[in-house]
Chains A and B, each alone.
Chain A
Amino acid sequence: MAEMDTSGGGKHKKGPGVKKGKKLSTRIDLTPMVDLGFLLITFFIFTTTMSQPTAMKLFLPKDTEKPEEQNKIKASGALTIMLGKGDGVYYYEGELLPDGSNFKGSNFKDIRREIIDKKKSTNPQDFVVVIKPGPEATYKNTVDILDEMTINDVKRYAMVDIFDQEIQLMKATEASQGIK
């Protein structure tokens, strides 16, 4: 069916001098064409970028020098999350006690639980998450924790510079747990 008919039509003997035109089939072998087609398809599949990159919006607060313009947050409703070395997550509720006893360690899996618990236990108007990425935190950590805000539907959150005391506490915890 799909092959070239190459057999001549020389079955009947005709007299000398009578030439019979070869009857050529119009069918062509399409196999090479199909091969080529699929080869190109594979090429395009591999070079194409199917998943369009997405964009995550972030709004920054305006830095104000005057304290009266700054948004005051109720300390009781705040959850402060700090990001440390080696994907470490640390948090405390409310204000950091001078002895650092409410400073707790966590990780990216467990922090969700903490956020949800805190969200449930506080008045929605007071609930605010303060994110403080440390100097050793990676960009991925930062995006992950911001993503966590979207996942848990946290309406108010802010990215704030980390304090020295918190860095010290983080370093102490990292040292005791041997995180490099």
Chain B
Amino acid sequence: MPKVKVPRKSTSVDMTAMCDVAFLLLSFFILTTKFKSDDTVAVVTPKSVSTKAAADKNVVMVTMDKDGKAYFSVGDNNVAEKQDIIDMIDQGKNLGLTAQEKAAFARSGSIVGVPFSMLKSYLDLNADQVKNFKAPGIPLDTADNQLTVWMNAATRSFTGNTMTLLVKGDNNAKYPTFKGVIDAFKRNEIFKFSMVTDPEGVPEGTALAAKRATGAKED
């Protein structure tokens, strides 16, 4: 019998196509990515069935961590408002902040979780020190609810603009903290705010599930 000659094929494959796919995906991820912000306060938010995305314009955020400490921060796009707020706080409380300390507040990612008595020394810290700083939280007691003062300054600085008020609370924050935050809002005549949550599926067989299935409008 004649020998069948099997042609020897090269084992290497053309990588061009794969390379194309890889870089296509890569560019997609680079363009769509939004880095996890390096939060100074670790917060695990509860879940809700709400589908509305949290707004990111003109944001004033009150954060509650797992120990029930409250923090105040303003969105990074609102540098002018931030400066207004710290000016008002400085004047209202006679803190005697320097321009440098005010700049520290206006810096992106700044978050305040200290009472007014500590604000000056807190703003003097550099970036590394802030990371390791154990903030005591803004006092929320009925007698001395300092968040009220912050919220008052925030509402005044956002006059003319719609302020998006977000409350971001940790699962384990206790209700009294939340109540203190609500009280601070109420005292400033703010009756509308949003809570940051993670999306969650709607349980089967409920009124909302039926509503969503028919595509009815939700309020």
A residues near B (Cβ < 8 Å) are 1-3, 29-31, 33-34, 37-38, 40-41, 44-45, 47-49, 51-63, 83, 112, 116, 133-144, 146-147, 150-153, 159, 161
Q: Find chain A residues with CB under 8 A from B175 CB.
A: 83, 133-139, 141-142
Kindly list 12 other residue pairs between chains A and B, CB separation below 8 angstroms, not including A30-B19, A57-B192, A133-B178.
A2-B14, A49-B35, A53-B196, A57-B193, A133-B179, A134-B175, A143-B48, A143-B195, A144-B46, A147-B47, A151-B207, A153-B207
> Which of B21-29, B72-80, B109-117 lies at the interface?
B21-29
Question: Measured between alpha carbons, how far is A81 from B197 in the docked complex, in Å?
Answer: 22
Tell yes or no: B198 within 8 A of A by CB: yes
Per-residue CB contact flags for chain B residues 112-143 toward chain A (1 = under 8 Å, else 0) read 00000000000000000000000000000000
Residue pair A56, B197 in contact (C-beta under 8 Å): yes
B198 and A53 contact, CB distance less than 8 A: yes
Residues of B within 8 A of A59 (CB): 191-192
A53 and B12: CB pair below 8 A? no
In the bound complex, do residue A60 and residue B192 qualify as a contact, i.e. CB atoms below 8 Å apart? yes
Contact among A37, A144, A151 for B202, CB-based, below 8 A: A151
Nearest opposing residue in chain A for B169, CB measure: A139
Instruction: Decide: A40 and B32 in contact? CB cutoff 8 A.
Output: no
B residues with CB within 8 A of A? 10, 12-16, 18-19, 22-23, 25-26, 29-30, 32-36, 45-55, 64, 166, 169-179, 182, 185-186, 190-200, 202-203, 206-209, 211, 218
Is B29's CB under 8 angstroms from A45's CB? yes
- Expressed in whole angstroms, the Cα–Cα distance for A112 and B182 within the complex equals 26
- Give the distance in Å from the alpha carbon of A80 to the alpha carbon of B193 in the complex: 23
27 residue pairs A–B, Cβ–Cβ below 8 Å: A2-B14, A29-B15, A30-B16, A34-B19, A34-B22, A37-B22, A41-B25, A44-B30, A48-B29, A48-B32, A53-B45, A53-B53, A53-B54, A54-B197, A55-B55, A56-B194, A57-B50, A57-B194, A58-B194, A61-B191, A135-B176, A137-B175, A138-B174, A139-B64, A139-B169, A139-B177, A153-B208
Given contacts A30-B19, A41-B25, A58-B193, whether A49 and B172 have CB atoms under 8 Å apart is no
Q: Closest residue to B182 on the A side, CB-wise?
A: A60
Chain A residues whose C-beta falls within 8 Å of the C-beta of B15 in the assembled complex: 2, 29-31, 33-34
B32 to chain A: closest residue by CB: A48
Closest CB-CB distance, A46 to chain B, in whole Å? 10
Contact status A51-B198, CB under 8 Å: yes
B26 touches A44 (CB 8 A): yes
**Chain B minimum-CB-distance residue to A132:** B175
